[in-house]
């Protein structure tokens, strides 16, 4: 990201469901400093490389309340949320198809509020309030779930969740066998 020219960015490994680390609750960030900005830069590089629109720190095994999002077509509207809290959700909801970088290749319907208001710090530590609707609102809710240790498949029936877990474990074993 051009905002952080002195930061050397790195791709981070993304945890995949059913990794138990995805269920860890993220801790608040004490201060937005160079360490946090380096994590943010790495998260953006990882998210863009994986063709995602959002990434929570929990997904890259950093258990702090940090989220990066970019829902723009051009991938040029990065949004950083540090210590985000949803302060309002619309009572109107909609079921929409969701996917997740931690649950590769799986998409299913999840009910979410149509609009949200979130308070968070940006990459400079400045507190902001963001009103979001549509895809951005869905993405914010999805990523904040990760910070609470919740993966979107937990909204699905136990039967569907079990099938997804079995499928991803088989894929993981096949990938490990290929590397051996």
Catalytic residues: 143
Residues in the annotated binding site for Fe cation: 100, 142, 146
Length of the chain: 180
* Burial class for 57, CB neighbours closer than 10 Å (0-12, 13-18, 19+): buried
Cα distances from 74 to residues 48, 51, 53, 93, in angstroms, run 11, 12, 11, 28
């Amino acid at each position: 990201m051009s905002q952080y020219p002195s930061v050397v960015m790195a791709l981070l490994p993304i945890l995949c469901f059913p990794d138990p680390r995805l269920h860890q609750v993220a801790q608040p960030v004490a201060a937005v400093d160079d360490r946090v900005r380096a994590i943010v830069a790495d998260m953006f590089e990882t998210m863009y490389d994986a063709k995602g629109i959002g990434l929570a720190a929990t997904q890259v095994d950093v258990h702090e309340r940090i989220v990066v999002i970019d829902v723009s077509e051009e991938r040029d509207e990065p949004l950083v949320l540090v210590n985000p809290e949803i302060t309002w959700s619309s009572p109107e909801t909609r079921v929409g198809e969701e996917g997740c970088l931690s649950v590769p290749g799986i998409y299913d319907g999840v009910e979410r509020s149509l609009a949200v208001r979130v308070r968070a710090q940006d990459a400079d530590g400045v507190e902001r309030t963001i009103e979001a609707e549509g895809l951005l609102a869905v993405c914010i809710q999805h990523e904040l779930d990760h910070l609470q240790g919740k993966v979107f498949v937990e909204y699905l029936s136990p039967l569907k969740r079990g099938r997804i877990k079995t499928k991803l474990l088989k894929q993981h074993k096949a990938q490990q066998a290929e590397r051996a």
